[in-house]
Amino acid sequence: MSVWDEVVGQESAVSMLSTSATRAEAMTHAWLLTGPPGSGRSVAARAFAAALQCEQGGCGSCHACTTALAGTHPDVTLLATDKVVITIDEVRDLVGTAARTPTLGRWRVIIVEDADRMAERTTNLLLKSIEEPPPHTVWVLCAPSVQDVLPTIRSRCRAVVLRVPPADAVADLLVRRDGVDPAVALTAARAAQSHVGMARRLARDAGARERRSAVLDVARRIRGVGDAVLAAGELVDVAKAEAAAATEERDAAEKAELLRALGVADGETLPPKLRSQVKQLEEGQKRRATRRQRDVLDRAMLDLLSLYRDVLVVQLGADVDPVNTEHAGIVRDLARDSTPEQTIRRMDAIAVARQRLDGNVAPLLACEAMTIALRPQG
Ligand SMILES: [Zn+2]
């Protein structure tokens, strides 16, 4: 057993991080962990933190290891955000924490999960702490790619690049850790395109599999402009519902906690002078739901993209594993009824829709333009 067990398909990154963790003299105080979504950046960052705290360099079973992995080690601080930007106050707190000597462990480790979500002014604050770090402090910044962080930051960090893990390595983790049936695990790992969290959800949650199938079925159902507009509306509604389901419970808990902190009893009318604080919280929650909705829609678009990629593979007779093994029927029909050029145009339309979504175009508009471009062309 070791803290690296769940960092799958990342041999070179693991070897670099585990070697550094056990040789204090070779330690770097600032790391930049990059890799595409689902490659396991935050899992790798926590494993590294555990390896740093463990007397045996990451045994995976001692108290230091288990608490660091679980996020409860007092000397491991993790900043994860659902927000679009990390605020300057959050970073100021982190810099303050970074200056303190570790209480129990050998190092004080600060992990920032979405270092790409920092405004330049915020980054500058962080920069000072990274440039002259206290001797026992290690910063671990995570981002999708090196280009996503400012040059001033990346030039001061040691870079570790995670790759998209192979589907069979992800499937193996699901079997080993979650007890998933091997065949189901491989299908899920392929469908999730090796996104570890997504693969796990697909393997264990029938609802998630159904939602994904419904998205892929859009490709078959669209015959004309009317169907396209309807399908776009459905995609947006499903994303809204999924985002709401994921955030509702947490929103309510956060609000209850705030009211408690403000000294307002359950069911009591809110005094006017406290209203602005509650309103601020609610606005933040609304932004988070919007972000989540966009993420869910983007995932749906990626799923559709993977379907047309399979169609193109069939049309070109390429010797590549399909992503959507459970939807071979749709793939076959689409491959028969269209040309490779049309498939490429459809893939382009999906890529454009993703860009528009990222550029804050209204989700329904982005989806409609996409589904209209997906309909059969004579
Ligand atoms: Zn240990």
- H/E segment holding residue 10: none
pLDDT at residue 251 in the model: 85
Is the pLDDT at 26 greater than 80, yes or no?
A: no
CB 140 within 8 A of CB 108: no
For residue 176, report the distance from its CA to the centre of ligand 1, in Å.
20
For residue 103, report the distance from its CA to the centre of ligand 1, in Å.
17
One DSSP character per residue, 91-113 reads HHHHHHHHTSPPSSSS-EEEEET
For residue 22, report the distance from its CA to the centre of ligand 1, in Å.
12
User: What are the phi and psi torsion angles at 71 (to 5°)?
Assistant: 85, 20
Is the pLDDT at 232 greater than 80, yes or no?
A: yes
pLDDT at residue 378 in the model: 63
pLDDT at residue 83 in the model: 67
For residue 67, report the distance from its CA to the centre of ligand 1, in Å.
10
Which of the residue ranges 172-176, 218-222, 245-249 would you say has the lowest mean pLDDT? 245-249
Residues in a beta bridge with 159: 32
For the chain, give the mean pLDDT.
90
For residue 104, report the distance from its CA to the centre of ligand 1, in Å.
14
Is the pLDDT at 305 greater than 80, yes or no?
A: yes
pLDDT at residue 171 in the model: 96
pLDDT at residue 84 in the model: 66
For residue 51, report the distance from its CA to the centre of ligand 1, in Å.
7
d(CA 83, CA 272): 27
pLDDT at residue 252 in the model: 84
Nearest to residue 136, comparing CAs of 170, 175, 104?
Answer: 104
Is the pLDDT at 246 greater than 80, yes or no?
A: no
Percent of the chain with pLDDT over 90: 57
| pLDDT digits 0-9 by tens, 142-176 | 998 998 898 989 999 999 999 999 999 999 999 99
For residue 329, report the distance from its CA to the centre of ligand 1, in Å.
49
Category of 339 on φ-ψ map: left (φ > 0), alpha (ψ -120 to 50) or beta? beta
For residue 17, report the distance from its CA to the centre of ligand 1, in Å.
15
| pLDDT digits 0-9 by tens, 119-143 | 888 888 898 888 888 889 999 999 9
d(CA 14, CA 47): 9
For residue 156, report the distance from its CA to the centre of ligand 1, in Å.
29
Q: How much is the pTM?
A: 0.76
For residue 5, report the distance from its CA to the centre of ligand 1, in Å.
13
Is the pLDDT at 317 greater than 80, yes or no?
A: yes
d(CA 271, CA 260): 13
pLDDT tier, 291 (very low <50, low <70, confident <90, very high otherwise): confident
For residue 369, report the distance from its CA to the centre of ligand 1, in Å.
53
Is the pLDDT at 295 greater than 90, yes or no?
A: no
Classified as helix, coil or strand, 302 is helix
For residue 56, report the distance from its CA to the centre of ligand 1, in Å.
6
For residue 105, report the distance from its CA to the centre of ligand 1, in Å.
11
CB 43 within 8 A of CB 8: no
pLDDT at residue 240 in the model: 87
CB 344 within 8 A of CB 212: no
For residue 39, report the distance from its CA to the centre of ligand 1, in Å.
24
Pick the more confident residue, 249 or 355: 355
pLDDT tier, 312 (very low <50, low <70, confident <90, very high otherwise): very high
For residue 4, report the distance from its CA to the centre of ligand 1, in Å.
11
pLDDT tier, 198 (very low <50, low <70, confident <90, very high otherwise): confident
